[in-house]
């Protein structure tokens, strides 16, 4: 209840609205956090999750979870991961789904706040291997609004699934930030 109040007050003071279209009946899913273009993405996403009672979890560099912020990051849903062991990151997060009955894992698919050529495919591989749906989420700084799209159940056809994700983001974010990386995975080119 306290988190919901904090989230609601933070968003109200910032002048933001949230589309309350989160699928609460789905207990395990991967949420795409996009655009990921500013350090403010995290506080707005967290506030939206708290306001809507979403049991959001996120992963971050294990070094961020040291004193003095480690306890706080874990308390708000953080899962520390060692990025130096990148080959095991997807498997470790898939295992998290195997251990939990409820997990809404937020993944910034762009991977960085700088513009790139491709999104990181970890969100897709985690969802596919864990057998959970993908939920595109957005923050729109122009409209001061955030929300969610329709659930996408990954089929293994990367291009077809990414077409659905692209359709969502192109429809919802009319004026993307200049450093927004368009939704595209390098794996799509390998399918050709």
Specify the pTM: 0.89
Distance CA 186, CA 121 (A): 8
Q: Which helix (H) or strand (E) holds 121?
A: none
The H or E element that residue 81 is part of is: strand 78-81
- Structural domain boundaries, residue 140: 2-190
How many domains in the chain?
1
pLDDT tier at 166, thresholds 50, 70, 90: very high
Length of the chain: 192
**Residue 145 · residue 48 · CB < 8 Å:** no
Instruction: Look at residue 104 in the predicted model and tell me its pLDDT.
Output: 96
Phi-psi sector, 160: left (phi>0), alpha (psi -120 to 50), beta: alpha
The pLDDT value recorded for residue 56 is 92
């Amino acid at each position: 209840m306290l988190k919901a109040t904090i989230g609601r007050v933070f968003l109200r003071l910032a002048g933001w609205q949230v589309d309350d279209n989160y699928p609460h009946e789905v207990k395990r899913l991967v949420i795409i956090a996009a655009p990921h273009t500013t350090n403010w993405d995290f506080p707005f996403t967290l506030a939206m999750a708290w306001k809507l009672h979403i049991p959001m979890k996120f992963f971050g560099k294990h070094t961020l979870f040291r004193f003095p912020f480690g306890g706080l990051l874990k308390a708000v849903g953080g899962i520390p991961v060692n990025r130096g062991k990148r080959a095991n990151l997807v498997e470790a997060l898939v295992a998290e789904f195997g251990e939990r009955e409820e997990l809404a894992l937020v993944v910034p698919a762009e991977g960085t706040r700088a513009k790139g050529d491709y999104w990181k495919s970890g969100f897709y591989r985690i969802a596919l291997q864990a057998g959970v749906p993908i939920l595109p989420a957005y923050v729109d700084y122009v409209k001061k609004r955030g929300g969610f799209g329709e659930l996408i159940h990954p089929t293994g056809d990367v291009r077809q699934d990414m077409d659905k994700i692209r359709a969502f983001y192109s429809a919802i974010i009319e004026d993307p930030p200049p450093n927004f990386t368009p939704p595209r995975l390098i794996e799509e080119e390998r399918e050709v």
